[in-house]
Amino acid sequence: MTLPGSPFLAYRGKELFLDDCSLDELASRHGTPLYVYSQAAMLDALAPYQRGFAGREHLICYATKANSNLAVLQTFARAGCGFDIVSGGELERVLAAGAAADKVVFSGVGKTRAEMQRALEAGVLCFNVESEAELEVLSQVAVAHGRTARISLRVNPDVDANTHPYISTGLKGNKFGIAHDRALETYRRAAALPGLEVAGIDCHIGSQITAHGPYLDALDRVLDLVEAIEAAGIPLHHLDLGGGLGIRYTDEQPPSADTLIGHLLRRIDERGHGHRPVMMEPGRSLVGNAGVLLTEALYLKPGAAKNFCVVDAAMNDLMRPAMYQAYMRIEPCRLRDEPASTYDVVGPVCESGDWLGRDRELAVRAGDRLAVLSAGAYSMSMASNYNTRGRAAEIMVAGGQAHLVRERENPAELFRGERLID
């Protein structure tokens, strides 16, 4: 029985498999909490992006923040992807994974001078500049180090992507990008500053978008700007359309990537911009349904108003439910032939917000392993050490083999850099 969201995750009899690996056996061998990813699922999710752009000059830049494990980055680098980064640390990660610096775009609202300098030295493809103040600082850093920074401006088109407010990025009230009505003047300033080369225009309106309409609305506003900017004598080379395409967690029906890209390219062609290279920055849609979080049920705790299934994974391992009230499907790794009961699945962290799922129908006993689905994106990458909890181990299933791609942290590692006072 294949589960919604991924053809690579299915029950074989009573046992849950990811690709050809039993998740219960992986949990037994490596312990829990444990993240497990399918490389085949990631490449399967990438394929419609590649089909959609076939025959067009383009660059698919994986959004590193979604899942920055080196083996994940290596997978996309070998598949020909570039990378969208938002910090100096992410730059070092993608380089360590074998990425070419000239296929890296550097986004983010708070780049430091040191990060700018390192990115210039590495030779990144482009800086996606998010404020007029950043533009001035990048010019100073480039001149001081004898470099030229290729830039695009991230424009905020004030388009509602109809997503959770915490993951909306394209509205006037969001911190991201340069206001649409300031963009032309800011491009004029960029063209006049030393050490900068205007290369393109960028737009990203949010995350977990499940319809193509907001993308087309944003694209039209961006193309209006392109025409105004070039009429002012400032040529633009590429269009960066951002990312944000959603995945299925429950009953969502996002368009396939090739369908979305088809709509976007047709609109670009209709408006006379088909000669421009196009970039996209997908993250969640490439890795979200390629991963699961495995956890063990520690205790079943009946209550007057709620029954609780206390597990060994917590909000420090998986922040999305506490942060976004996100729904993530939870399945037993081995099915039981007994009636299900209703549980809140909660972790051991000392916060009432430490829950992984509410009101779940589960046939479960203490010692059983559960799989939290759709955990490949914004899960391990957001993990913390709250309550002095070591972060989980990570497994990549590739070529029929399960590879340990991150070891579990131990307590000594967590306070290695700390010092007692004499």
Torsion, Cα of 17, 20, 24, 27 (10° steps) = -120
350 an active-site residue? yes
Whether 35 and 291 have beta carbons less than 8 Å apart is answered as yes
> Where do the H-state alpha helices sit in 297-421?
320-324, 411-414
Residue 213 φ then ψ, to 5°: -55, -50
Tell me if residue 41 falls in helix, strand or coil. helix
- Give the Cα separation of 390 and 312 in Å (integer): 12
- Give the Cα separation of 119 and 161 in Å (integer): 31
Whether 293 and 317 have beta carbons less than 8 Å apart is answered as yes
From the candidates 61, 126, 203, 350, which is the catalytic residue? 350
- Give the Cα separation of 234 and 30 in Å (integer): 56
Cα 200 to Cα 138, 149, 303, distances in angstroms:
16, 12, 58
Half-sphere exposure of 22 (CA within 13 A, CB side): 11
- The residues that are catalytic are 350
